[in-house]
Structure formats: C-alpha cells, structure tokens
Amino acid sequence: MTIKKAKAKTTPALAEADQWTLIPTPVGEMMAGGDEESLHFLHLPGSFDARGLDPDRRGAPAAVAAATEQLEAYFRGELTRFRLPLDPAGTEFQRRVWWALADIPYAATESYGALAARVDNPRACRAVGLANGRNPIPVVLPCHRVIGADGTLTGYGGGLALKQRLLEHERRVASSGTGRRRAS
C-alpha cells in the first residue's frame, strides 16, 4: 500500500504592491496575484490558503484583472494563447525554462528532454523538471504540457488528475476548432 502525502497549502507571499484575487474555474478556485504592471503568481486549486492573506489587499489591479479575464476565456475554450505581462520571481535559468513553456503549442506536449534542449542545456532534464515544478504561473506558462520521455504524465503541482484534465480540455477545444481566439 502506498500512502500519498498531501501537498501542504501555503499562504502566498505578496510583494509590496501586490494584490490578490480568487478566480473560480471549472477545475477549482485559483488565486492570482500581481500589480498594475504584471502578474506575479497563479496558484492552482488546493495549493493555497487565502485565510492568511490581508483582506485589504484583495483586489484586481490591471494585470490580475487581465489574467482573470483570459483564464475565464481559456476555460470556455475561447483562448489558446495567453497574452499577459508576467514577472515571475526566479533564477535566470528558471525564467528561461518558464518562457520556453509558453512556446509549447496549445494542446501539444513536449518532453523534459526536448525542453532542456530548447533552453540550450540538453543534459539538464532534472534541472528543467525542478524549474517546471517551481513555475509560479502555471496554466499561463503551461507546465502541464511537459511530459516524460516515454509519453507518460509525470509530476504536476496540482496533481496528475488536474494535469490530465487540462490536457484533455485543450485537446477537446483544439479538435472542435472553437479555440481560435488569442488574447491580445
């Protein structure tokens, strides 16, 4: 018998000017945070605890409002590529990996090895996996599209069931031809 350890819920850290909002989605409630200039984080359902956050900082500055609107369109099947101002906190390597995620086509997948090669470090599969696991803006920077070399679904911060649901959603939209709108 294998006992699966539940991932601990965290209270997100907010930068000085950040505000946060909760976004209801078909896969559960997400939390977005940022400021007027950029989106800083997006937490997946079940991964955060909003009770520890200052309710006076709840709000939707421009970048957070845009993220909310685009996520709603994504889940309605109307948006296939996010166009948002992003500023995720991370190392130079992590940010290279995260920007490369945005180049994985909608409804497609790519292996960790292929992603490592695209960031000019083909032997860094594990480092790419670690960076992927620390992606602070999942779905928008689509780490759910990264899979094992053998085509199997591997690790995802929101759990493999959520990863599967996101990929199935994208494939369903792509096959129906309805997801043509791109955010601008």
Write the DSSP string, 20-48.
Answer: EEEE--TT--EEEEE-SS-EEEEEPTTSB
Supply the pLDDT for residue 51.
83
Question: 3.30.390.10, 3.30.160.70, 3.40.50.300, 3.40.50.1820: which CATH number matches 19-76?
Answer: 3.30.160.70
Residue 113, C-beta contacts closer than 8 angstroms, at least 6 positions apart: 122, 125, 149
Q: Of the candidates 64, 84, 69, 89, which has an alpha carbon nearest to the alpha carbon of residue 25?
A: 69
Same topology, domains 19-76 and 92-176? Answer is no
- Catalytic site includes residue 125: no
Question: 3.40.50.720, 1.10.10.10, 3.40.50.970, 3.30.413.10: which CATH number matches 92-176?
Answer: 1.10.10.10
CA–CA separation, 139 vs 32, rounded Å?
Answer: 12
Supply the pLDDT for residue 2.
35
Supply the pLDDT for residue 17.
76
Supply the pLDDT for residue 181.
54
Supply the pLDDT for residue 135.
96
Query: Considering 66, 143, 147, 167, which one is annotated as catalytic?
Result: 143
Amino acid making up residue 75: F
Domain residue ranges of the chain, discontinuous segments joined by +: 19-76, 92-176
Supply the pLDDT for residue 1.
36
Per-residue pLDDT of the chain (184 residues; tens, 9 = 90+): 333 334 555 666 677 778 999 999 999 999 999 999 999 999 999 888 888 888 898 999 999 999 999 999 999 999 999 999 999 999 999 999 999 999 999 999 999 999 999 999 889 999 999 999 999 999 999 999 999 999 999 988 899 999 999 999 999 999 987 655 555 4
